[in-house]
Amino acid sequence: MDVSTEVIKTGTSTVGITYNGGVVVGADHRATMGHFIANKSVQKLFRISKNVALTTAGLVGHAQSLSRTLAAELRLFELKRDQEMTVKGASTLTANILSGRPHYVQLLIVGVDDSGPSVYSIDSAGGSIPDVYCATGSGSPFMYGVLEDQFKPGMTQDEALALAAKSLLASAQRDAASGNGMDLAFITQKAGFNQLSEEDVSELLANL
């Protein structure tokens, strides 16, 4: 990895929201170096297995390395045991990796398994906390204002997608380190990971 990418930080807004039957996950695109916008199309949302996704906030190099490691570990688990790792198992594995060698990141592990949809927030030292929704990154205070006001148990997929989009828009409007568009995806046990196209995101935002 080029040394220059190691100092690029994703100030970041990422979000995970459980709904009735699945989980929605999203992230913005902006990466910064201090007050300089270093990149406007950074990937912060990663599919790491059929039913598990990762979002990242922090150093780009650490985030990319972790996404590759986790995807490989979950694939090896599936090949050895002929079953998919649970979302809790993926969060524990991630937490163990971070506690052994801290990374400058804040992560969300989200997904669906036999126990239902889950969102886990994982800090740079390996702490893992489950919740029904969570936001990370510098834009999270603005996102939580929207989430606290509008989240409700048993939401539909469309409602959860709209709420994720609204929270990411709120952070983009107030957090200088967040913005330049968003990635959105949903995960269900039957259909697995599905990321919205740019056209689908644009249509969703137009209808908010």
Q: Where are the domains of the chain?
A: 3-206
Which CATH homologous superfamily contains domain 3-206?
Answer: Aminohydrolase, N-terminal nucleophile (Ntn) domain (3.60.20.10)
Tokens of 135: 């936001």
Predicted local confidence at residue 11, as pLDDT: 66
Cα 13-164-196 angle, rounded to 5 deg: 100
Give the residue-averaged pLDDT of 51-74: 88
Give the residue-averaged pLDDT of 181-198: 95
Predicted local confidence at residue 109, as pLDDT: 96
Range of lowest pLDDT (41-45, 114-118, 187-191): 41-45
Tokens of 162: 């709209």
Q: What is the pTM of this model?
A: 0.90
Give the residue-averaged pLDDT of 43-72: 89
Tokens of 4: 């220059």
Contact 90, 112 (CB under 8 A): no
Distance CA 162, CA 174 (A): 19
Range of lowest pLDDT (38-52, 84-98, 108-122): 38-52
Tokens of 53: 């996704």
Q: What's the chain's average pLDDT? A: 88
Please write the tens of the pLDDT for every residue from 68-112: 999 999 999 999 999 999 999 999 999 988 886 667 778 999 999
Predicted local confidence at residue 32, as pLDDT: 75
For the purposes of burial, counting CB atoms within 10 Å of the CB of 168, is it exposed (0-12), middle (13-18) or buried (19 or more)? Answer: buried
What's the N-to-C CA distance of the chain in angstroms?
39
What residues contact residue 12 under an 8 Å CB cut-off, 6+ apart?
Answer: 27, 28, 30, 44, 56, 57, 58, 136, 137, 138, 139, 177, 178
Distance CA 88, CA 122 (A): 12
Distance CA 143, CA 136 (A): 9
**What amino acid positions are annotated as catalytic residues?**
12
More confidently predicted of 168 and 9 = 168
Predicted local confidence at residue 39, as pLDDT: 75
Helix axes 198-206, 157-174, angle to 10 degrees: 80
